[in-house]
Structure 1
Amino acid sequence: DSPETRPIFTAEKKSLVIDWLVKWRIAEPRQFIRNNGADIRNLESRLSPVVQAAFNEEITKRTVRGVLAAERDKVMQDVRQRLVDEAKAFGIEIVDVRIKRVDFVAEISDSVYRRMESERKQVANELRSQGAAEGEKIRADADKQREVIIAEAYRDAQKLKGEGDAKASALYADAFGRDPSFAQFYRSLEAYRASFRSKSDVMVVDPSSDFFKAMRGGGALAAPAAAAAHGGKR
């Protein structure tokens, strides 16, 4: 494991602290004993500065984003490659190099966290704004569809009413064509009904006028006309 390390500057001059781990094994026992003795701590004390220097070389070529994510694996591979020749001098072989943790130094950690929090709030606000806009669009679409449905229903109703009126007119025309006197009598009744819709209606009309022609007629036509007129003046 890495001892207490010094900050390393990235390509954009940001200061990072790298906590690393190196796995090794003895490749040349005689070389190992000759250079390190029987105490493994001797090797560790000599190997740590070499590993730290290798990390310094690799980190300074990269950005913070690269070290944290995009090039993290590449950093570990390149550091391992740098240690190959150094390891031979110690009688060991480097098995693996790992970055355990990457931290900002204490004096800039707070500003980084504040920036990250601000960015998260900005993203949240953008999402809320997008949601509100989408809600307005959905409501507008619903209102538009409602208006279209009402307009179509009114159009269909008017079409049906027109067709009904046309059929009724055709029936009246057929009936009136076969019996013109009945047609005249029917129109007179409609005129009387329209003139006496209320019990309080009063009209002053010359009895000899054409308006009362149906009432003055004899036989079967006069009786219904007189009854209709009388009923309207009550």
Structure 2
Amino acid sequence: MGSKSLFSLILAGIVVLVASKSVYIVKETERAVKLQFGEIVEPDVKPGLSFKIPFVNTVRIFDGRILTLDTRPQSYLTIEKKRLIVDSFLKWKINSVETYYTATSGDEFRAADLLSARVENELRNQFGARTLNEVVSGERDEVMAEVIRRLNEVASKELGISIIDVRVKRVELPPEVSSSVYQRMRTEREREARELRSRGFELAEGIRADADRQKTVLVAEAYRESEEQRGTGDALAASIYAKAYNQDAEFYSFTRSLKAYKEAFSGNGDIMLLKPDSEFFKYLSNPMGTAK
């Protein structure tokens, strides 16, 4: 290979290298700035194919999507001086590439540290102005809305970042406080259980007493009705006996004597001491019942 051909090959390689260094692509999900010897000359490069001067211009590309920052759990004091452990996260994205690059040098970890410090400061201010009940349940949405609004004002101006959302994942009491709180809650629940149990016993005694009263009334009424029925039956039986006796007194006396004989002589080993001419044996000695 001659020197001319070698020179042409080297020149072609240099041209290809320069051309490759002169072209860059920014995706739709990315944001970029163009620098010239470290100074920003194009603060917001549009997505697509662009050109730069090799070894003079530098392009810094950043993620333009919504990013999540999971902050470390921090300790905050409420207005009642009660300490809480708060775990939170936020959603953010770049809205001004020039400001973002100037404030963080394009370092996402540096941006995360700056955001974390500002989030912690805003949460501390909001929690410090509210009671425990308000930050846990009563006004949590209002707290988050205020934190987002104030963070947006600071982050957009100082960092070129837009805060999309801030959320608290959990709020916990410190370990040294949790045990006493749980014990107090347990004591309170046990007291409520005792009150409910006492009310239940009281109601049960009332129901039992009412049931006993109703039982006594029902038994008494049943006994009264049964005695009335028995009295009516006895009266009716006496009336029937009286009518039968009036129709044939001798026959009635005879049947009654037979019934008495049957009952008297049905037992084994019974002894009766009676005179043979007793009135009791008149039908045995004389079937006609007349005295001898």
Unaligned runs of 5+ in 1: 190-198, 203-211, 227-234
How far the C-alpha of 1:161 sits from its partner, in A, is 1.4
**Pair 1:41 & 2:41 matched:** no
- Following the alignment from structure 1 to structure 2, what is the Cα–Cα distance between the partners of residues 143 and 165? 32
Pair 1:76–1:221, CA change in 2 (3 A): farther
Indicate if the aligned counterparts of 2:94 and 2:162 stay in contact, CA closer than 8 A: yes
Task: Provide the residue aligned with 1:162 in structure 2.
Answer: 231
Which structure is richer in relative contact order (CA contacts within 8 A, separation 6 or more)? Answer: 1
- Following the alignment from structure 1 to structure 2, what is the Cα–Cα distance between the partners of residues 170 and 62? 96
Q: TM-score, normalised by structure 1?
A: 0.66
How far the C-alpha of 1:111 sits from its partner, in A, is 2.3
Q: Give matches, 1:99-114, under 5 Å.
A: 99-114=168-183
Q: Give matches, 1:11-160, under 5 Å.
A: 11-89=79-157, 90-160=159-229
Task: Provide the residue aligned with 2:71 in structure 1.
Answer: 2
Matched AA of 1:100: K
- Following the alignment from structure 1 to structure 2, what is the Cα–Cα distance between the partners of residues 12 and 170? 95
Indicate if the aligned counterparts of 2:85 and 2:171 stay in contact, CA closer than 8 A: yes
- Give the % identical residues: 38
Q: Name the SS of the counterpart of 2:106 in structure 1.
A: coil
How far the C-alpha of 1:157 sits from its partner, in A, is 0.9
Q: Report how many residues are paired.
A: 213
| Structure whose residues are more often strand by fraction | 2
- Residues 101-128 of structure 1 show CA distances to partners (whole Å, capped at 9, x for unaligned) of 2122344333223212222322333343
Pair 1:54–1:177, CA change in 2 (3 A): farther
How far the C-alpha of 1:39 sits from its partner, in A, is 0.9
Matched AA of 2:132: V
Matched AA of 1:118: T
Moved more, 167-176 or 136-145: 167-176
Moved more, 76-85 or 164-173: 164-173
From the CA coordinates, give the structure whose radius of gyration is larger: 2
Matched AA of 2:77: F
Q: Name the SS of the counterpart of 2:168 in structure 1.
A: strand
- Residues 199-218 of structure 1 show CA distances to partners (whole Å, capped at 9, x for unaligned) of 9999xxxxxxxxx9xx9xxx
RMSD (Å), alpha carbons:
4.2
| Structure whose residues are more often helix by fraction | 1
Pair 1:131–1:178, CA change in 2 (3 A): same
Indicate if the aligned counterparts of 2:73 and 2:86 stay in contact, CA closer than 8 A: no
How far the C-alpha of 1:57 sits from its partner, in A, is 2.6
Matched AA of 1:99: V
How far the C-alpha of 1:83 sits from its partner, in A, is 1.9
Unaligned runs of 5+ in 2: 1-69, 258-269, 274-278, 283-287
Pair 1:156–1:18, CA change in 2 (3 A): same
Indicate if the aligned counterparts of 2:86 and 2:172 stay in contact, CA closer than 8 A: yes
